Amino acid sequence: MEFSVKEENLVPRRRHLHMHPELSFQEKETQEYILKELKNMGIEGKKIASTGVICRLGPSSGPAIALRADTDALPVLESNEVEYKSKNEGKMHACGHDGHVSGLLATLETIKDWKLTKGVVGLFQPAEEGYHGARKMVEEGCMEDVEAVFGIHLWNTLAYGKIGISEGPVMANSDRFTIEITGRGGHGSMPHDCADPTLAAANVVLNAQQIVARNLNPMKESAVISFGGIKTNSFVSNVIPESVSLCGTVRSYEEPVRCLVEKRLGEICQGVELLNGLKADYKFVRGYSAVVNDAIGVKMATQAGQKVDIAEVVPAPKVLSGEDFYYYNQEGKVPSCFIFVGSAINDGVIRPHHSPEFDIDERALLVSAKLYCQIVYDNCR
């Protein structure tokens, strides 16, 4: 490592943001804070995607590398009793995006005086948590001239000191479905006069699990189908209800697997209609697509990661969470790598992402800043 990162503001900035979390597309104060911090560094930031910020260093046009930090928080009530606890009750940086912003700010502060021969674009993206903020960034032109894009996620199932990088899918297709089963209700003692939607719902739930167990190749395909809820329209011991609603989520890595699950769930609903003599109205709604790291992006990230003196590169933890980072690689046209930086606090307590107990080992902030700086150092000078 031949440079030193401007690290003194890493923790204070992260803590400031942690105390002032804002939800997706409401990141107004966060946006102002980023613009102000950039201005103090002598960098001109511009508003983009409603509540996001974009800036560019180095040559004002021509090829560039983009570094992304998402900025939004979650509707979670923080339970940590820490001095930097959220001041916005019911909102919390429970995914580590406060740390992403701080890491990218420190990166820009460090590289701003370097002689850059290639552009560096800072992407402070709003609304990652389910609201497709990345799509809006791309629609508003953030990828103009960008020839490679990198994203870092602080990650709590990875130990501090590890940088997780893998080629291929690292975040999942994240879809949801609803099924409305409408039968014919009646007396619990006279099922022959009814069309029982509860039994039909049970059939759907059980058969759905056979898709993963019996339609996917166990050697190379994976998916998860989870039901989030089953609700009958009545809840009385001696009444067969009129209708049952089901909802759930489907996670997968590959597009063919995603399509197969979508189709088979529909076929199960059709089968149940026939079997149970009722209506099963099925809707499959696509959410985020998988984040897929390509060979070029992975090579650039790995070479930089191996030079980070306080961490080592390991395979990325495979997770079935969703992420909107996939919008930036434009279906494989722009090399990209989504990188996991280990942030678990090593005290035996599990602090899952999106939980009220979420917190990070703040030393990971320096790892992420060093990694981003190294990518710039290797590729833009």
Residues at the annotated binding site?
95, 97, 129, 153, 354
Q: Is 95 in the site for Zn ion (CB under 5 A)?
A: yes
> Are the C-beta atoms of 381 and 26 separated by less than 8 Å?
no
The region of 7-15, 93-101, 173-181, 363-371 touching Zn ion under the rule CB under 5 A is 93-101
What residues are paired with 226 via a beta bridge?
Answer: 249
Strands 336-344, 186-187: pairing is unpaired
For residue 138, the surrounding DSSP H or E stretch is helix 133-139
Q: Is 158 in the site for Zn ion (CB under 5 A)?
A: no
* The one-letter amino acid at 236: V
- Closer by beta carbon to Zn ion, 119 or else 322: 322
What residues are paired with 66 via a beta bridge?
Answer: 121, 149
Q: Is 152 in the site for Zn ion (CB under 5 A)?
A: no
Q: Is 373 in the site for Zn ion (CB under 5 A)?
A: no
Q: Is 364 in the site for Zn ion (CB under 5 A)?
A: no
Rounded to a whole number of angstroms, the minimum distance from the CB of residue 288 to Zn ion is 11
Could you give the 3-state DSSP secondary structure of residue 208? helix
Q: Is 92 in the site for Zn ion (CB under 5 A)?
A: no
- Closer by beta carbon to Zn ion, 154 or else 280: 154
Count of residues that bind Zn ion according to CB under 5 A: 1
* Positions at the binding site for Mn(2+): 95, 97, 129, 153, 354
> Are the C-beta atoms of 163 and 306 separated by less than 8 Å?
no
The residue number whose beta carbon is nearest to Zn ion equals: 95
Site residues (CB under 5 A) for Zn ion, limited to 204-233: none
Catalytic positions, please? 72, 128
Q: Is 134 in the site for Zn ion (CB under 5 A)?
A: no
- Closer by beta carbon to Zn ion, 22 or else 262: 22
Could you give the 3-state DSSP secondary structure of residue 228? strand
Taking the C-alpha atoms of residue 272 and residue 175, their distance in angstroms, rounded to an integer, is 22
* The one-letter amino acid at 18: H
The region of 29-37, 90-98, 179-187, 191-199 touching Zn ion under the rule CB under 5 A is 90-98
- Closer by beta carbon to Zn ion, 118 or else 162: 162
Contacts of 191 (CB under 8 A, 6+ apart): 240
Q: Is 69 in the site for Zn ion (CB under 5 A)?
A: no
- Closer by beta carbon to Zn ion, 174 or else 379: 174
Q: Strands (DSSP E) along the chain, which ranges?
A: 46-48, 52-57, 64-70, 119-125, 146-159, 162-164, 168-171, 173-182, 186-187, 223-232, 239-240, 243-252, 279-288, 291-293, 312-314, 336-344
Could you give the 3-state DSSP secondary structure of residue 223? strand
The region of 44-52, 91-99, 245-253, 342-350 touching Zn ion under the rule CB under 5 A is 91-99
Residues that bind Zn ion (CB under 5 A): 95
